[in-house]
Amino acid sequence: EIIARTGDFGALERIRSLQVGTMNNILEWGRLGRVIENEALNGDDAYKIDELFTDLRNGIWTELSRGSEIDVHRRALQRAYVERLDLMLTGDEPDLTGAARRRAGPQINASQSDIRPMARAELKTLKRQVQSAIPRTSDRMSKIHLEDISERIDMILEPK
């Protein structure tokens, strides 16, 4: 309400940018590598990568279980989550050199780690939950959004 009365155009983009930056920081290659390594070192006492993804999905997609309206901010975050999963499934960690490499620490080979299988499993789980939520969602824009998310996931999992 305050932003609507006082802010310039671009408030939605600023909020989206903050949300996406935070999510991408959580799902950063090195951080995921540390989660995987922590599980290898500490077993059942560790916070596991599948727990991380479950926690993120439960937080980012709360509307799915209720079939409630998804506001513009949440829709943007949800799209960004799917895009990040796409990158994790098909992309590689940026190739850093020099000081940036030293600050980032060891790099992880995504194709040889648990990151890609986890991203694929997460997309499949999310697809099932989205498909289940579409008939229960009465808000038109939310339904359009969920149908779009379902299509995006299909294009990621089954590229033509």
The pLDDT value given to residue 160:
83
pTM of the model: 0.83
DSSP-derived 3-state class of residue 119:
helix
Report the distance separating Cα 51 and Cα 4, nearest Å.
Answer: 37
The pLDDT value given to residue 13:
85
pLDDT means per 10 residues, the chain with 160 residues, are 66 87 92 93 94 96 93 95 94 61 61 89 98 94 98 94
The pLDDT value given to residue 98:
56
Complete DSSP assignment for 3-72: HHHHPPTTHHHHHHHHHHHHHHHHT-HHHHHHHHHHHHHHGGGS--HHHHHHHHHHHHTTHHHHT----H
The pLDDT value given to residue 105:
56
Report the distance separating Cα 68 and Cα 66, nearest Å.
Answer: 5
